[in-house]
Amino acid sequence: MTKLRMGMVGGGPGAFIGPVHRIAAELDGEIALAAGAFSSNAARSRDAGERYRIDPARAYADLDAMLAAEAARDDGIAFLSIVTPNHLHLPAAKAALAAGLPVMSDKPATATLDEALELRRLVRASGQPYALTYTYSGYPLVREARARIAAGALGKIRKVVVEYPQGWLAGEASGKQAEWRVDPARSGLGGCIGDIGVHAFHLAEFVTGLSVTELFADLAAVVPGRALDDDCTVLLRFDNGARGVLMASQIAVGERNGLHIRVYGENGGLDWRQETPNALTLHHSDGRTEIIQAGDAALGPDARAATRTPGGHPEGYLEAFANLYTDFARLLRGEPAPLLPGIDEGVRSMAFIATAVEASARQAGWVPLLIPGE
């Protein structure tokens, strides 16, 4: 059995997320990066190809050129991985789907909700697999949390607190990573809400199995002169009546990547933190507090399948990311991958961003989270 050949668009010099996708895709040995349109600058794309150690002939300066050339090869790419800034997600996905290729896209799906709706049409029409790297849903203990809640371990869910504090944009935004994130033209409507708030949103729905139906949003651009929000609080209502609080911030000095979720139900509570991802705290209604760790015998099949090493050998962000690619490989083989976020999650997320931005701007109290076309 040979490896699945991956093409990449974006991920050229200076990019953080390109190499991460490459590592994640290849980690489990099922996928190999084979070609890329890493940059629209030919020299830079070639440089990137060299660093990725792919065949120099397969480092393209243009996505269309890549799709055409690869389609002509016997060993052409089997899918496209999109790691560009947000505003290029839609055109890239569109081109790949048109070329008959499945798509694995960095989040968010697109730059705007309208684009996401368009993409949903295209994906549905194409019949091709499409997935989104909501990375944090790839952590084994996040999947364990989801499985336990689905099995009723907490009873009816009453309260969700999900937060995502970072501090790296507390001062002036400098560096390639920072600059596009604070630029509406490249980032889309949302700043912090679109960059990390949406991860928190997806995690909350993923873990609880519930859907947000209504929200109240307070988004702020705290750093003087910033055009996009860098600090957000969103109150949530879920479809079962549960309440939620979502906080995301890029000005929380000293916080690295503090994604953290707590869920409380009638009969229990749970607590998971991304920065120490291999432990899950479970509170039982009889007062017992249990620490569940990656590798434990008590883990369910989802968590076990998402773990490579025995207990106490920490896996991290790259392995969580790899779990999404491994799920995606399953899809490409025609197997189910029910935990992998797809276009519907992409549309929900874009609707969440758009609704939160608008609600915060209008200060009109609670607003419904409506998903067009559903």
Nearer to a second copy, 1 or 151 (CB): 1
The two structure tokens encoding residue 5: 């050949």
Who contacts 45 (Cβ-Cβ below 8 Å, separation ≥6)?
12, 36, 37, 38, 39, 59, 60, 61
Which of 355, 360, 347, 352 is closest to 130 using CA atoms?
347
Contact between 350 and 151 under an 8 Å Cβ cutoff? The reply is: no
Among 114, 276, 333, 370, contact with a second copy (rule: CB under 8 A): 276
**Nearest alpha carbon to residue 261 among 165, 163, 155:** 163
- Does position 144 interact with a second copy (CB under 8 A)? The reply is no
In the complex, what is the shortest distance from the CB of residue 254 to a second copy, in angstroms, rounded to a whole number?
2
Question: 111-127 in b/e burial notation, b at 16+ Cβ within 10 A?
Answer: bbbebbbebbebbeebe
Q: Which of residues 186, 300, 314, 367 is near a second copy by CB under 8 A?
A: 314
- State the minimum distance, in angstroms, from the CB of residue 257 to a second copy: 3
Q: What's the closest the beta carbon of residue 29 comes to a second copy, in angstroms?
A: 6
Least Å from the CB of residue 286 to a second copy: 7
The stretches of the chain forming alpha helices (DSSP H) are 17-27, 42-51, 63-71, 89-98, 113-126, 140-150, 176-181, 184-187, 192, 198-208, 301-305, 317-332, 343-362
Number of residues interacting with a second copy: please give it, by CB under 8 A.
94
Q: Nearer Cβ to a second copy, position 41 or 309?
A: 309
Q: Which of 302, 315, 327, 345 binds a second copy (CB under 8 A)?
A: 315
- CA dist 62 and 37 (Å) reads 6
Backbone angles phi, psi at 307, to 5 degrees: -125, 140
Each residue 27-56 as x (binds a second copy by CB under 8 A) or -, in order, gives xxxx-------------------xxxx---
174 binds a second copy (CB under 8 A): no
Binding range to a second copy, per CB under 8 A, among 106-114, 167-175, 182-190, 200-208 = 167-175
Q: Which x/- pattern, by CB under 8 A, does the window 179-218 give for a second copy?
A: -------------------------------------x-x
Q: Is 151 in the site for a second copy (CB under 8 A)?
A: no
Backbone phi, psi, residue 73, to 5°: -95, 150
Q: Is 252 in the site for a second copy (CB under 8 A)?
A: yes
Is 222 among the residues that bind a second copy (CB under 8 A)? yes
